[in-house]
Amino acid sequence: MKTIAITGASGFVGTSLKKYFSALGYKIVSISRDILNDNKKLEETLNQTDIVINLAGANIINRWSESYKKLLYSSRIETTSKIVNAINSVQNKPKLLISTSAVGIYDNKTTYDENGSYSNDFLSNLCQDWEKEAKKAKNETTKVSIFRFGIVMGKDGGALQKMITPFKLGLGGTIGDGKQAFSYIHIEDLLNAYKFVIENEFEDTFNLTAPVPTTNKGLTLALGKTLKRPTILPVPQFVLNIIFSEGARVLTDGQSAIPKKLLDLGFKFRFKTIEETIEDLCK
């Protein structure tokens, strides 16, 4: 029985991964904060682990005060550094580390595969540093893959759960003009992508996004159609700026990313479009 150790295991994606891989017969170990802060316990855990999935990080959709930006950074970089140091210290090293990043690493001027141009803003720099730290775990035994998430869509948590209530009430609408890109992935496709990479022991950087990008307007129209509700009340950008300050850019400056490397390797997405995704999750 192979063992998967997961940081950030209590979140939406982490909880989904635990349930999914447990059903496949894997042993799941949650790397709690207590284990992360105890080098001996962390090394003991990773010394008995085949795969490490690193999901740890404070919620990116929040008001970005200077103190919160420091938390966003430390919760990702410092946690990843602890994992990397432990992997490099133990005798029985894991075979694979899958560390998380985000499509926010790209600028928002075009549609990108994994070789796209990076931005120079806070979120992109955070992702770049996060990925660099994770890659330090690569050695003769341990492979490192990076998963750049789009917005993860699911029934039991994540972004959709937060946005669906106003749409059900007929109060949903675009953010600003709705033209900003919206890269997303159905939770089922995300889980299957983890299985695909783990079982094939692939080592690379992958966009975890649906193969057909959309916009905020496309998302809004899909929600309105499936829920049979009007979508005529746009959310002005200045309102988001008041609520989230610089953090509003996560919602207003979307990136359009395609999963070229997964597709080239033969991975099959079940939910390719935003209409298919929303119809499945809201039925």
Q: Residue 17's closest CA among 169, 147, 207?
A: 147
- Interstrand relation of 214-215 and 151-153 (parallel, antiparallel or unpaired): unpaired
Of 20-34, 53-67, 90-104, 143-157, the poorest mean pLDDT is in: 53-67
- Interstrand relation of 96-102 and 143-149 (parallel, antiparallel or unpaired): parallel
List the domain range (segments joined by +) for residue 56.
3-151+185-210+257-270
Whether 243 has a pLDDT exceeding 70, the answer reads: no
Q: Residue 9 in contact with residue 55, Cβ under 8 Å? A: yes
Looking at the 3D structure of the chain, how many domains does it have? 1
Domain contains 36 = yes
Domain contains 173 = no
pLDDT digits (tens, 9 = 90+) for 192-207: 999 999 999 999 999 9
Domain contains 222 = no
Whether 124 has a pLDDT exceeding 80, the answer reads: yes
3-state secondary structure 56-124: CCCCCCCCCCHHHHHHHHHHHHHHHHHHHHHHHHCCCCCCEEEEEEEHHHECCCCEECCCCCECCCHHH
Determine the 3-state secondary structure of 233 from DSSP. Answer: coil
Domain contains 250 = no
Q: Which residue has the higher pLDDT, 31 or 247?
A: 31
Please calculate the CA angle 258-127-181 and round it to the nearest 5 degrees.
40
Q: Residue 231 in contact with residue 86, Cβ under 8 Å? A: no
Domain contains 235 = no
Instruction: Indicate the average pLDDT of the chain.
Output: 91
The CATH number given to whatever domain includes residue 189 is 3.40.50.720
Q: Residue 159 in contact with residue 102, Cβ under 8 Å? A: no
Domain contains 92 = yes
**pLDDT band for position 261 (50/70/90)?**
very high
Whether 92 has a pLDDT exceeding 70, the answer reads: yes
> How far apart are alpha carbons 208 and 114 in whole angstroms?
10
Identify the helix (H) or strand (E) that includes residue 255: none
What would the mean pLDDT of 166-195 be, rounded to a whole number? 89
Domain contains 142 = yes
What would the mean pLDDT of 179-201 be, rounded to a whole number? 96
What would the mean pLDDT of 204-211 be, rounded to a whole number? 98
Q: Pull the structure tokens for residue 265.
A: 């390797």
One DSSP character per residue, 108-165 reads SSSEE-TTPPB--SHHHHHHHHHHHHHHTT--SS-EEEEEEE-EEE-SSSHHHHHHHH
DSSP secondary structure code for residue 55 in this structure? -
**pLDDT band for position 167 (50/70/90)?**
confident
Q: Which residues contact 84 (CB under 8 A, 6 or more apart)?
A: 97, 133, 134, 136, 137
Structure pTM? 0.93
What would the mean pLDDT of 131-148 be, rounded to a whole number? 98
Domain contains 163 = no
> How many Cα atoms occupy the beta-carbon half-sphere of 225 within 13 Å?
13
